[in-house]
């Protein structure tokens, strides 16, 4: 693994359980946790620049910019929460820095995991059961609220796992052969 990898993986590993827990119970992703993940990406950019990986940093920044526009517009249109949009931008930047094909794999896994989450929430609501057990601070965010943080994080961790299996391009070629 490159020296940049721990700078990416460790901060995200530290905030993943808390982000998942908050999103499942409260349907929100606290800014302080998303900021912790973002700080890890900024540190990873610095490490990558010091290691002479400027092109990877530029790709990561460009990927984050595209994600910010697309996810921001989707959030403003009501398609997802702002916390999901912010976390998505951070994770796309991290995925691009870790693997050039990382954003593609991130999008595929996140879409599948998000679809499964939406189906579970819809099914539980249709049968009259709560989608998430009530917690001490459970805050419903509307009848269609789906916790997308876990799906976003599943996409990120799939990129990390794919890196050990030959990279996201290899994994994507198995899932969707050319």
Ranges 19-28, 126-135, 158-167: which has the least confidence:
126-135
Phi, psi of 102 (to 5 degrees): -55, -45
Percent of the chain residues topping a pLDDT of 70:
81
pLDDT class of 139 with cuts at 50, 70, 90: very low
Name the percent of the chain lying above pLDDT 90. Answer: 60
CB neighbour class for 25 (10 Å; exposed up to 12, middle 13-18, buried from 19): middle
Confidence check: pLDDT of 151 > 90: yes
Summarised one tens digit per residue, pLDDT across range 78-114 is 888 999 999 999 999 999 999 899 999 999 999 999 9
Report pLDDT for 144.
56
Q: Average pLDDT, whole number, for the chain?
A: 85
Handedness of CA 59, 42, 82, 22 (dihedral sign): positive
| CA 59 to chain CA mean position, Å | 17
State the average pLDDT over residues 40-45.
94
**What pLDDT is attached to residue 136?**
47
Question: Is residue 46 within 8 Å of residue 39, measured between CB atoms?
Answer: no
**What pLDDT, on the 0 to 100 scale, is given for residue 36?**
93
pLDDT of residue 140: 46
The average pLDDT across 138-162 equals 80
Cα–Cα distance for residue pair 13/17, rounded to 1 Å: 8
pLDDT above 90: residue 175: no
């Amino acid at each position: 693994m490159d020296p940049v990898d721990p700078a990416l993986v460790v901060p995200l590993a530290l905030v993943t359980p808390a982000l998942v827990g908050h999103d499942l119970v409260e349907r929100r992703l606290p800014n302080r946790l998303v900021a912790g993940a973002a700080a890890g990406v900024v540190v990873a950019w610095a490490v990558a620049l010091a290691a002479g990986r400027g092109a990877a940093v530029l790709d990561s920044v460009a990927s984050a910019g595209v994600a910010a526009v697309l996810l921001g517009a989707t959030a403003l249109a009501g398609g997802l929460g702002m916390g999901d949009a912010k976390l998505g931008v951070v994770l796309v930047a991290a995925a691009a820095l870790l693997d050039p094909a990382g954003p593609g794999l991130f999008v595929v896994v996140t879409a599948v995991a998000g679809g499964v989450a939406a189906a579970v929430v819809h099914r539980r609501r249709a049968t009259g059961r709560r989608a998430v057990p009530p917690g001490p601070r459970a805050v419903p965010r509307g009848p269609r609220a789906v916790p997308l943080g876990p799906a976003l994080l599943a996409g990120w961790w799939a990129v990390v796992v794919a890196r050990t299996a030959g990279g996201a391009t290899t994994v994507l070629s198995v899932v969707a052969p050319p």
